[in-house]
Amino acid sequence: MGEWAPSWTPKEHAAAVDAVREAIGRGDVYQVNVVGHASAPYRGDPGPALRRVAALPGARYGGVLTGEGWAIATASPETLVEVRDGRVITRPIKGTRPATARGRAELLASAKERAEHVMIVDLERNDLTRIPGAGPVTVDELFAVRQWVDLWQAESVISAPLLPPELDLAALLRAVCPGGSVTGAPKLAALTEIAALEPMGRGVSMGAIGWIGPDHLDLALTIRTVAADGTRLHAWAGGGITWDSDPAAEVEEAAAKAAPIRAALAGHGAGGATA
């Protein structure tokens, strides 16, 4: 594997954060998730490296998909949507700190992270109400702290009962895609900002991957995901931007999320993230 080539510099990333803050100041948006991309050349079979990514600790969805000339590995901890036992469930993640005692305390005490998280919870509650046949939406767990590799992350669980008739898959996907935690609020306005600011398309990242059965659907949000196209590896990382966001801290947070993926690909273990 060769060196990583980012699609933007830290200075350009920070400028995008400032641009989102300006949009918030104008009242265009409340929050926007800004994502950067990097790629690295490789030779040979990427399978062993991709399997190391899929095995990262804390991955609720760890796996590899392959096809002719392409492969995808995910270590995603986040549920975009699950349907089980007559309920539809989403588990948005928003808020990150190093997995230390101090990092946990900082995450739990951060008014900025909690406000950002609650905005996405409200957005996801609204998304579930748009599903035909969905009953009252409930927040079953709010701002729970869970570990992914060497990072703490805040996660909530939101669900609703599904009433007859049977759920239409297309209607379900229209209601929840793209995920609120990787777009922002309001969602359509956030997507406009994302299209204007991000230097590279998101590819397979920030989408969905999983499985569908006759009585159970479970789709991950493809964060912490790598794609191989035959000659290069592609990875994405970013974070949600609010009025209180510090550009330098947002650049560092994206690097922290990308570090375990890069380390696993290089065979250096699952650590290496800092924030």
What's the token pair of residue 76? 């995603």
Are the C-beta atoms of 96 and 109 separated by less than 8 Å?
Answer: no
Catalytic member of 82, 94, 155, 253 = 94
Q: Which of 78, 124, 155, 193 is the catalytic position?
A: 78
- Crossing angle of helices 169-176/111-129, nearest 10°? 150
Give the CA diameter of the chain: 53
How far is it, in rounded angstroms, from Cα 60 to Cα 212? 16
Q: Which of 221, 269, 219, 259 is nearest to 237 (CA)?
A: 259
> Which residue intervals of 9-129 are DSSP H helices?
10-26, 47-54, 101-109, 111-129
Q: Is 112 among the residues known to form the active site?
A: no
Catalogue the active-site residues: 78, 94
